[in-house]
C-alpha cells in the first residue's frame, strides 16, 4: 500500500515552507540598509573618529614623539647629525 497514491501529491514536510507575512518588505528594507545606508554610516563614523582624535590632540596638547626627543634612542644621534648638516648647508 502506498502512502501517497497520486504522483502529484507530496509530503507536506518536503514542500518549502510558506513565506512569512511581510517577508518581502523585510528583505527590501535589509537590501536598502546594506546597499545604501551602511557605506554612508561607516563613512560618517570614520569622520567622527578623526574629528574626536583631532580634538583630543588639541585639548590634551599631545605631541607625537620623534627620534629627536630621546637622545638615548639608537639612531637618534645619526638623525641629529644629519639634521645639523642639512641646516648648515642652507
| Domain ranges for the chain | 25-59, 63-90
Contacts of 68 (CB under 8 A, 6+ apart): 76, 79, 80, 83
Q: Indicate the pTM of the whole model.
A: 0.49
CA 24-26-28 angle, 5° bins: 70
Q: Which tens digit of pLDDT belongs to each residue from 25-70?
A: 999 999 998 899 999 999 999 999 999 988 988 888 877 666 555 6
**Quick one: pLDDT at residue 85?**
74
Distance CA 32, CA 17 (A): 25
More confident residue, 75 or 49: 49
From residue 39, alpha-carbon distances to 28, 46, 52 in Å are: 17, 11, 20
pLDDT band per the 50, 70, 90 thresholds, residue 86 = confident
Amino acid at each position: 500500500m502506498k502512502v501517497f497514491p497520486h504522483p502529484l501529491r507530496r509530503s507536506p514536510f518536503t514542500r518549502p515552507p510558506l513565506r512569512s507575512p511581510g517577508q518581502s518588505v523585510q528583505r527590501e528594507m535589509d537590501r536598502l540598509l546594506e546597499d545604501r545606508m551602511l557605506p554612508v554610516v561607516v563613512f560618517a563614523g570614520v569622520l567622527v573618529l578623526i574629528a574626536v582624535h583631532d580634538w583630543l590632540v588639541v585639548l590634551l596638547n599631545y605631541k607625537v614623539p620623534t627620534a629627536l626627543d630621546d637622545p638615548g634612542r639608537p639612531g637618534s644621534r645619526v638623525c641629529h647629525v644629519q639634521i645639523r648638516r642639512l641646516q648648515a648647508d642652507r
